[in-house]
Structure 1
Amino acid sequence: MTQRLRILHLEDDPMDAELVQMTLASDGLACEVQVVSRREEFEAALTRGGMDLILADFALPAFDGMTALLMVRERLPDIPFVFVSGKLGEEAAIESLKSGATDYVLKTKLARLGPAVQRALTEAHERAKQRQTEKELEQAYAEIEKRAEDYRNLFNSIRDVIVVTDDSRTILHVNQPALREVFGYQTEDVVEKSSAILYANEDDFLKTGKEVFDAEGSVKGKLLELHFRRKNGEIFIGEQYAMKRFNRYGVATGNVSIFRDISERKKAEAALRDSELRRYQLQVELRYAAEIQAKLLPRTYPQIAGFDVAARCLPAKQVGGDFYDWQQVSPNLIYLTLGDVMGKGMAAAMLMATVRAALHAVTLYNSPAQALRLAEQALFADLENSESFVTLFHGQLDSDQRTFSFVDCGHGYVFVRRADGTVDGLSPRGLPLGVQGGEVYQEGVVALEKGDVLVLYSDGVIDAKPELELNNQILAEQLAGKSSAQEMVDALMALTGQPDPQPDDITVLVVRCVD
């Protein structure tokens, strides 16, 4: 059902108002007409709104049509306004149209009223459509401008330099501040100039043309590593991603290049290669050092009547500061040593070799106490200069007497497990080598019977499993039921779990009295 036309009619003659309604009805216009004759009624109707058209007499006793027209155009500028008057001179008609009236119809020619109303409504509808279109266009332009601004901001915020050129490689667009940061140029320095200005040499400029820009047809973009030149003349190595620029029809319209300064990356890569080379060389040196250190340890177990000897050393790094050693001077006499240099790694390993060599030099013709005194005199200066010290347990095993004479230089990790399972500690105990010059070391002696086991170990055994609160008693219990010194060494090493990473060097030496 067609919506009825809502009309406000300013008219003081009821018969004229009725005649207007009849004319509109005869023209097929379904209307709801509100007739007013006074200014306050007209103003109240405008305030309420809701009308589609206003008809007005030009001259009323207390109110006039031109004033009504001005009120309407001030409040409702888009609503159609048609004068329907008995008298309307040519000048008044022209003035009314200039003031915003849509049309005018004389009461003596109401046959024009229907077409005039139809035309006024059509024009109002077209104006409304035009204003909506203009509004939509304005919004579209605003959106386009916003997107263009966003694109410009994005384009200029990219840290790589983006250069857009035409087919002859003349620069059309370039982003700041990347251009300034990388090349030192301002936009006006390069726009409308050949992009050759950015290259360090002509060969690199020609290379990009040959591989991408001058090639016929569609060519995939390529990443090239070339040399470029800054405004101040400095040459740097960079990457250029070169590609052709196509329009929406797939036609090449120029070129696009993305430049990136990779000089710092190249320096970092070179430094990394040097570092890797040095690391490899160090690994080789450490491997050789580990082989040499392993060869310094005894290669075979000693053969001494009535006793079974075994040992094992597991460095925390490729090389370590722990060591064990023995020197057999006769079938029934052997010197045993277990040492632990403070720290681990290469520095500890170097000191370990020095300590071992010093002991070798003084052991054969001296008692344990005298040997340690001489070794301490030889090593003190080196240990003091290196700000290090060595805990050391050194002793002489006499298989005929079944005795073990020893000196403990601050080591302490030693006990004897008797055949009946009891555990004895060994004393006395002195200071480590390198702590105090001129130390007088006291010598102790312990007798060994069949089934007794002498155990020496480093603090790495304790450090490997601190949660177990390992002590001599617990370690001694691990030896029960083991039939050889080697089995006992393996049992104690297994107790540590050999953690990874290993906190410290782990060394165990076992002497078992079998007769």
Structure 2
Amino acid sequence: MPLQKYLIDNLGDLSILFEGIMNSIHDAVFLISIDDNNNFFYEYVNEAYKKQTGIKDIDQVIGKTPVEVFDKKTGGLQVSKYQECFKTKKELNYQESINFKEDDKTWLTTLFPIVKNDKVVKIIGASKDISKRKEVESALVQSEKFSNTIMSAIPDIIVRLNRDGKFLDINAPDELMLYIAEENAIGKNISETLPREVVDRVCYSMEEAIATGKMQRTEYKLAILNGEERYFEARLVPTNNDEVISIIRDITENKENQEKINQYTAEVELKNLELENLYNKLDEELQKAKQIHERILPESLPELEQVSFGAHHYPAERLGGDFYDVMELDEKIVFYLSDVTGHSLEGAMMSVFVKNTIQNYVNLVEEKEITPEKVLKYLSDQFGKENYPDDYFICIFVAVLDLNTLELTYSGVGFQTPPLLVIDEKLKELKSQGLPISKAYPADIIDFGESSCTLTEGATLLIYTDGLTEQENMGKVYDERLRSVFYDYCYLSPEFIVEFLNEDFRRFNGGSLQGNDDITFLVMQINTLNTL
């Protein structure tokens, strides 16, 4: 199908995008797979995981169990957490201490279970290194040097400015993140050290912060000491002595990620437009398929002295592959009902194939050679010569009525719901089971064997597809009442039987004749001849 092909063709791009997103996340992300014995193995880790753990050789992790990656004690603790997530099927949050690079780190870990068919098949984990935060928390309790401890723990650049814009203090976790070295900036005005565009932004925000007493925020791009151009966010907070504290954060990765998201969003919008165009084309195709299907259905059914027919076809919202036909010969009547795989144009073309193939066979052979078994074998042979996929199949019931003897010969494949025959006031089922016509298996294993019975006046036959019997409403299927309704009205003419069945189905189906699948059935009746 076009949509499947698109997804397959673009699978590589989506994989690259997924990898890029995972590697842009600062937290250590890992994927746990679970085998049939409920053992846990590391299947994937992102770049942050390798960087933060110091594991350079990925083979030390991928395909390994927690005990193999860590020591027995630490690995055992990991396994116990994975087991808890696996058993509860719920998100699990916890703190843990793990030694990496001879350094104990504290991690805030979250486990997300991936559940399929009510079973956890994988676990996604995300661990955030909260060691710094834990150090700060400890320092706040143990030390009186509150301000200095906070300053040393914050990864952002913190700058103290007076009202005139003079640098009073600078604290940078990495001096390379500065535009100018700290010793060259202290005591100088920002107008002497920073580009004009940045100065204007900072001065305006600083004046607003002092005037309003509220934090102000601004963003700018700046080339730092190592030569890189980075994006920064400055949050300026006024103090009580006409000074401003500016907390400056590097937001380059956020900007880059946002650009990626914007680009991805634009691509998605473009693909949505393409899908909309595709849906419009599919709708056109569906209309064409409906027109084809309507043209090949019989406009009328034969009117004979001995036999009467009635039929009904109501397509589903999504056109299916139901079809029927009745062919009058010199001494025989050939009629059939089929249900082919495929929807829209594919299903319609399959129905055309069935109609043309059977019609060609009837036209090519002598009338005495026409039997249901031979018709089905010919249809199967021709189907095998066509270039249809293996998942295409044909379910069909074929019957031949001898007008002289009223002997009905029939054969069916693929239908699991047998045709119903009322004869001599008794309701019988006609055999119609077995494998459908398909390339998925050898044709010689399909049973085309036919059966026969002699009909009497008033005998009535109902052939139908599974769309009728499998229609469900309020937990019940129509099959449960079809037999009784047909038996109750089988003495009427086929035309009235069709009307009564439709009315009963409408009441069952909440007032609608449309089902989830095509609703199709064919009624044949031996007329009662009045004799003097």
Larger Rg: 1
Higher strand share: 2
TM-score, length-scaled by structure 2:
0.47
TM-score, length-scaled by structure 1:
0.48
